[in-house]
């Protein structure tokens, strides 16, 4: 192989490798920017309380109240529109979706503002009436749902009822066997 052919091969290889490297860098920049702009929100719910009020029928009205703290991990401020609480039944099907109300103003909560890299706190409640209250009180899971300004849905589990199985205390049983045997 001649020196000229070797130089041409090295130049072509360098050009192809450089083009692939530049394209990879551009794709990396675009993808990283999209991830930075994507809202990532963490939710912490506390002081969960359900109060049932008697009325016409077995259950007339129920109020579900709780405190919610949301943390926006994204670099840009965002918001959560139409925040609701959704109740899932025993079979996993959604039985009720109720709009949240602000505890201080007693009005529907239209949106929650989520500043960049800061916690946002809200004291909220949901009012359930009639059949909706009966269906919701037999819930298995409760989710906070809403919508981001770009149209993406937000849903996070807040409360879950789990079945507990009572088991025997194996340590006490072992010690009892030891006492009776010796």
CA distance 63 to 51: 5
How do residues 6-53 score in pLDDT, each as one tens digit?
888 878 888 888 888 888 888 887 777 666 655 588 888 888 888 888
**pLDDT band (50, 70, 90) for residue 167:** low
Which CATH architecture group holds 41-160? Sandwich (2.60)
On average, the pLDDT of the chain sits at 82
Dihedral angle, C-alpha 29, 31, 37, 38, nearest 10 °: -160
What's the confidence (pLDDT) of residue 10?
A: 79
> How many H helices and E strands in the chain?
3, 9
**pLDDT band (50, 70, 90) for residue 3:** confident
What's the confidence (pLDDT) of residue 155?
A: 92
How do residues 52-111 score in pLDDT, each as one tens digit?
887 655 667 889 899 999 999 888 888 999 999 999 988 888 888 999 999 999 999 999
């Amino acid at each position: 192989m001649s020196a000229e052919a070797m130089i041409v091969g090295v130049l072509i290889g360098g050009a192809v490798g450089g083009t692939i490297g530049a394209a990879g860098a551009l794709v990396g920049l675009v993808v990283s920017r999209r991830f930075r702009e994507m809202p990532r929100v963490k939710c912490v719910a506390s002081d969960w309380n359900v109060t049932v009020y008697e009325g016409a029928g077995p259950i007339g009205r129920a109020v579900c109240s709780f405190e919610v703290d949301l943390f926006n991990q994204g670099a840009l401020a965002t918001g959560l529109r139409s925040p609701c609480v959704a109740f899932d039944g025993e079979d996993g099907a959604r039985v009720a979706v109720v709009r949240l109300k602000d505890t201080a103003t007693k009005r529907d909560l239209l949106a929650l503002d989520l500043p960049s890299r800061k916690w946002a706190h809200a004291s909220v409640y949901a009012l359930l009436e009639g059949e909706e209250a009966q269906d919701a009180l037999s819930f298995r899971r409760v989710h906070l749902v809403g919508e981001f300004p770009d149209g993406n849905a937000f849903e996070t589990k807040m409360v879950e009822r789990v079945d507990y199985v009572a088991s025997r205390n194996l340590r006490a049983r072992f010690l009892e066997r030891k006492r009776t045997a010796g």
